[in-house]
Amino acid sequence: MDQWSRRELVRIATVGAGAGIAGCNALSPSESTEDDPQTEQAGQKSARRFEPISGRVVDIDGEEITGATLNAIVPGRGSVAETTTDEQGRFELVELDGPIWLRATKTGFIGRTVAVAPGTTPRIRLSPREGTVALSFGGDVMFGRRFYEDDHPLEPHFQIRPDDRLESHRRILQYISPLLQDADLTSVNLETPLTTTAWRHPSKRYHFVSHPDAAPAMADAGIDYVALGNNHTLDALTPGLDETVQALSAAGIERSGAGRSSTEAWEPTYFERRGLTIGLVSCTTVTGDQYDIDWAADDNQSETYSVSGDDAAGIPDTEQLTFSGSAGVAAATRDRISRTVSEVDANADVTVVQIHGGSEYQQEPTDEIRRLTETAKTAGADVVVNHHPHVTGGLELRGGTLVAWTLGNLVFDQEFWSTFPSYLLTVHVTADGITRAYVDPLLVEGYVPKGVVDKPRTWQLRETAALSSDEFSLDHDRLEYVAKDETPAQTATRTLDGDGTIYTRNSGWVNRVVDGAESVELGRDLLPTGTFDDPDIDDERHEGPLWRFGRGGDSNGPEFGYDGSGGIQLSRTADNTERSILTTAARVPLAGPTTLLGQYRHETDTRLELLVRWYESTSGSALDSVSIDLDRTTGWERLEQSLSTPEEATHVRVYFRLYPPDEGEKRVANFDNIQLVEWTDSATSGGKDYDFLRVHESSTIEFTSSSQPDEAISWEALD
């Protein structure tokens, strides 16, 4: 048995709230009950290609649904397998070679599509259809800028082909189209004009401009409505706004939030779905007040603007564009939100308000966004969706109103690490209010959104849960609110001893440190894709998303991993003049000390280096660095390296570098299960997003789970 396998299993039984340990009868990570959403626990790996998917379909009360139809959907290929549930609501699908979208449907219920991997046991809950509308919300969407730049061999991204532009846009959305099509009404924030005009706002540094072909592609993918109340809708001035409206109308996509006047920009859009009327309002706090030409629509604005052409942009500098300052986007104020939302509430069964604002790259809302959200809630909003930060935030139930603080990006070309995780929010609403809400994690890989399974899915669920209110219950494969769910949280208290012992989470989370807080550190893994498995639903296998390395037939795949489920191999020969490198696709945000964990195999004497660089921002030179030579191994060995973060550092990047040999045959080094754990200072409170626990002396810890009552709370100590 090698180093990595020698582990002490910590079994913490699930007990009622306030009780202590009731024995050590928790399930091991390799076991599961029929109600477990996935056989695997977080962090576990196994080779499971072509293993069956067997699970259950149940109603919202957990009762089995007989005769439900299950369709296995592969993007670009459609349904590749179909089956139905038996009398116990069970089903099985076989011979699937990678992650899929699994759609469950049954007359009288709202369909549900989930991301599923072979070898797992999903439990799919269906909501009753009668009197209920399903609404889905995605984040920021933009199809311009870097989508047209050349691809990079180490950092591949999707390129829109000008000679096949419509099909290119369709391919961008094809990986999540099965999910978008589930809802009765699907909405995104369109943060770009759809236009061919060369006119641009004369003062803005960043212009997001996309082609009108995006409109029919969005409609084909299942998008019904776009919010235009944002700070990029007027990037191509009024010609761009006019063409955007025309393109959306031609594609059958509704919109609100912008227009030729404030009245038009604030005009709500109404849909009739399943006997209910849904009203949608869009507005923004980011209005360009700092510029001579802002983009806030104002009915009282009598000023006209004149902009000269630009020869470099293809418009003669003698040409003039003149337009009224009344055109633009709905500028969010408490008074205008209150009046408009009250009007919509009087005319609709369901009122949705989307507010664009807050601080970019911050998950927590600003005070202004909180105030405006509260104004919308008080005026009658059932759902308030906020966006603009480009990163995902939490969800809250506030007096019957569901609030999403920030949805992050859906389709975007940003290259910051924190902008890659995403999710789609789905809300089930009746005339009496919200009955259910859940998230489906996504990953923006190469600017393209994809559904995810395994660790990236669990990572996003935990991240969102930690920022959300307690009404949202969390388990391995699900974060959701159900109005009639009253399952109490399960707790277990355990005294742990350690001398720097690291415990990793299988299920449940640290709720609080009861005693010995000064001896405990909590940690969260900063690398959601460090297992190098096949985590996303696309037409590639084991491509190592969010990592940079020389890609080829002998660099990535199941044959290079620790257990046959995915790994990365670096290789060099004497003819090579450069080092072979494995690193993250971008600098990773951090605030505290870290520990690098993983497994590697390096059975030759060629130099293998671990290089860590810290930075003060997302750009610029390194603030500090450390270089560590990794030892030669005899097979797979565990990697554990403590790293001290410089006080001024805000980002880090880890490099594995294999040097060319002086002579002889090819040399290789393999890597798997790479984790960068960021530690907190000792604290009394826990959190749903912490994956690790480091114990220095005896401490008493309370663990919690909000899953099914029979789920075991289980953490595992690394040897």
The amino acid at 672: D
Residue 536: inside a domain? no
User: How much of the chain, in percent, has pLDDT values that exceed 70?
Assistant: 92
Q: Which range is least confidently modeled, 118-132, 335-349, 485-499, 691-705?
A: 485-499
Give me the mean pLDDT over the 374-381 stretch.
Answer: 98
Residues 325 and 422 placed together within one structural domain of the fold:
yes
Residue 158 has a pLDDT of: 94
Distance of alpha carbon 170 from alpha carbon 311, whole angstroms: 33
Residue 382: inside a domain? yes
Residue 682 has a pLDDT of: 64
Burial class (CB in 10 A: 0-12, 13-18, 19+), 620: exposed
Does position 12 have pLDDT exceeding 70, yes or no?
A: no
> Which position has the token pair 């477990």?
36
Distance of alpha carbon 148 from alpha carbon 150, whole angstroms: 7
Residue 387: inside a domain? yes
CB neighbours of residue 218 within 10 Å: 30
Q: Which range is least confidently modeled, 67-71, 325-329, 346-350?
A: 325-329
Does position 212 have pLDDT exceeding 70, yes or no?
A: yes
Listed ranges 9-13, 217-221, 556-560; the one with the highest mean pLDDT: 217-221
pLDDT, tens only, 523-578: 999 999 999 999 999 999 999 999 999 998 899 999 999 988 899 999 999 999 99
Give yes or no for a contact between 595 and 640, defined as CB atoms under 8 angstroms apart.
yes
Residue 25 has a pLDDT of: 28
Number of domains making up the chain: 4
The residue among 550, 554, 566, 645 whose CA lies nearest residue 599 is: 566
Give me the mean pLDDT over the 13-30 stretch.
Answer: 30
Pairing of strands 53-59, 123-126: parallel
pTM metric for this prediction: 0.92
The residue among 546, 508, 506, 511 whose CA lies nearest residue 526 is: 546
Residue 480: inside a domain? no
Does position 133 have pLDDT exceeding 60, yes or no?
A: yes
Residues 37 and 16 placed together within one structural domain of the fold:
no
Which domain covers residue 97, as residue numbers?
32-126
Residue 339: inside a domain? yes
Residue 719 has a pLDDT of: 72
Give me the mean pLDDT over the 515-521 stretch.
Answer: 91
HSE at residue 54, side-chain half, CA atoms within 13 A, is: 13
Residues 250 and 362 placed together within one structural domain of the fold:
yes
Does position 14 have pLDDT exceeding 80, yes or no?
A: no
Residues 217 and 278 placed together within one structural domain of the fold:
yes
Residue 147: inside a domain? no
Residues 238 and 386 placed together within one structural domain of the fold:
yes
Residues 671 and 698 placed together within one structural domain of the fold:
no
Higher-scoring residue by pLDDT: 707, 587? 587
Residue 484 has a pLDDT of: 80
Residues 402 and 511 placed together within one structural domain of the fold:
no
Q: What does pLDDT average to over the chain?
A: 90
The enclosing domain of 119 has a CATH number of 2.60.40.1120
Does position 591 have pLDDT exceeding 80, yes or no?
A: yes
Listed ranges 26-35, 151-160, 425-434; the one with the highest mean pLDDT: 425-434
Q: Using pLDDT thresholds of 50, 70 and 90, give the confidence band for residue 520.
A: very high
Residues 238 and 111 placed together within one structural domain of the fold:
no
Residue 351: inside a domain? yes
Residues 321 and 183 placed together within one structural domain of the fold:
yes
- Strands across the sheet with 383-387, in order? 269-273, 276-284, 350-356, 383-387, 401-404, 395-398
Taking CA atoms, 110 is separated from 40, 113, 122, 125, 280, in Å, by 27, 10, 17, 10, 22
DSSP letters, 467-528, are TS-TTSEEETTEEEEETT--PPPEEEEEEE--SSEEEEEEE-EEEEEEE-GGGEEEEEES-T
Higher-scoring residue by pLDDT: 34, 522? 522
Residue 671: inside a domain? yes
Does position 1 have pLDDT exceeding 50, yes or no?
A: no
Q: Using pLDDT thresholds of 50, 70 and 90, give the confidence band for residue 713.
A: confident
The enclosing domain of 673 has a CATH number of 2.60.120.260
Q: Which range is least confidently modeled, 64-78, 152-166, 258-272, 433-447?
A: 152-166
Residues 667 and 693 placed together within one structural domain of the fold:
no
pLDDT, tens only, 688-705: 999 999 999 999 999 998
Residues 179 and 315 placed together within one structural domain of the fold:
yes
Hey, is 522 helix, strand or coil?
A: strand
pLDDT, tens only, 37-86: 333 333 345 455 678 999 999 999 999 999 999 999 999 999 999 999 99
Q: Using pLDDT thresholds of 50, 70 and 90, give the confidence band for residue 15.
A: very low
Residue 490 has a pLDDT of: 86
Give yes or no for a contact between 509 and 38, defined as CB atoms under 8 angstroms apart.
no
Q: Which range is least confidently modeled, 175-184, 245-254, 308-317, 628-637?
A: 308-317
Residues 251 and 297 placed together within one structural domain of the fold:
yes
